[in-house]
Every structure is written in structure tokens, then in C-alpha cells.
Amino acid sequence: MAATDDGSLQRLVGALQRLPGVGVRSAARMAYHLLLHDRSGALELAHALRQAAESVRHCALCHTLCEQEVCATCADPNRDASQLCVVENPADQAAMERAGIYQGRYFVLMGRLRPLEPQDAQAPGWHALQQRVQTDAALRELIVATSFTVEGEATAHALAQLGRALGLRVTRLARGVPLGSELEFVDPGTLAHALADRRPV
């Protein structure tokens, strides 16, 4: 920050570093950009931060972030209450919705389980999910839609244990070759799963 006595600028660079993935160099670049070229953007961001920090909370049913007691998806009476699809985050839920085939309900973990880390490092939604599945009388099937990564697998494993202990059917999204893929470019692990899970035609 050079030899200036510039408190506001240094405080801004420090505050920007609280954003994930932002170190001191990108924080400085962001601060300069806003102050040199986009002060209205700085004020807009300040307003959006304050408003969101004050109004956004968790949906009481699915744990996603929303501004109401219950989010729009959970409030929809046309969705099948016997199925609960557990996703890691709202973007995954959006991807499922775009597929256009699922009519059940969702639970959004807002993260993944980290099995080897202490309790408070777990996905924020894990305890809310436990409570939800233990008290939801309409529930029959838990559909695990976590990612196919080490942490996603660990999460799937914990979800399966939880669901089976409650006598629920537990299923998981199929692994296989994506539509439109040429085999040449599909990774070996995916191909191995696709072969093991091959189906009669």
C-alpha cells in the first residue's frame, strides 16, 4: 500500500481478504478497481452485503438460503413429499431442476461432510437434515445427489447410514458416461463404473 497513511484503503483491502480465495494481491487489485473505476459498484456491493446479511436465512425445511421462513420450492404443494433429494448446494439443486424430471422435495446441505474433521467443520445443514428425516412422516425415499468426489462419497455414505437406520429407501444418482461424450475422452474411473453398471438393451 506504499508509504501512505491511508486507513480507509487499507481497511478495505483487509475486509476484501475475508472473501474466500482472495489474498492480499487480489484484494488490492479489487480495491483499486472499485476506487478508480467503479465507486457506484462499491456502494452497490456495500448495500447488497448489508441487506443480505440482515435478511437472508435458512429455509426451515430444506436449509437453503432464502428470505422467507420456507423457500418457494418447499412451499410448492405439488411436490411429492415421499422423496427427498439431498444436494450439496443450491447450484446442484438448480441443475436437478433443469433436468426437469424430479418432482420430489429437496434438502440442501450447504456443503459436504468432512468425516475426519471436528463436528463444527461439518456441512452446516447436517444437523438440520438429521432432524428433518427423523420427523418427516411422509418421507419414504432418500435420493443421494452429492458429488462424486471423496467428500461427496463420504457424505453419501453417512446419508445412507442415516436413511437405512430410519427404514427409508436410500438411492443414489447413477454413475456413467455423460450424454454426448466420446469414450476416448471419458476418464477411466467413470468408464469402470459405466461398465460395472451396464444395462441390457
Cell numbers standing for residue 122: 461439518
Kindly list the distances between the CA atom of residue 90 and the CA atoms of 13, 65, 94, 109, 180, in Å, as whole numbers in the listed order.
Answer: 29, 8, 6, 9, 25
Q: Which does 90 bind (CB under 5 to 8 A by kind): a second copy, Zn ion, none?
A: a second copy
Give the residues lining the site for a second copy (CB under 8 A): 1-9, 11-12, 14-16, 18-21, 25-26, 28-39, 41-53, 55-56, 59, 64-68, 71-73, 89-91, 93-94, 97, 108, 110-111, 124
Q: CB of 167: closest distance to a second copy in angstroms? A: 29
Binding letters toward Zn ion, positions 58-97, x by CB under 5 A: -x-xx--------x--x-----------------------
Rounded distance, CA 29 to CA 35, Å? Answer: 10
CA distance 2 to 28: 12
d(CA 29, CA 17): 11
C-beta closer to a second copy: residue 55 or 161 = 55
Q: In the complex, which residues of this chain contact Zn ion (CB under 5 A)?
A: 59, 61-62, 71, 74
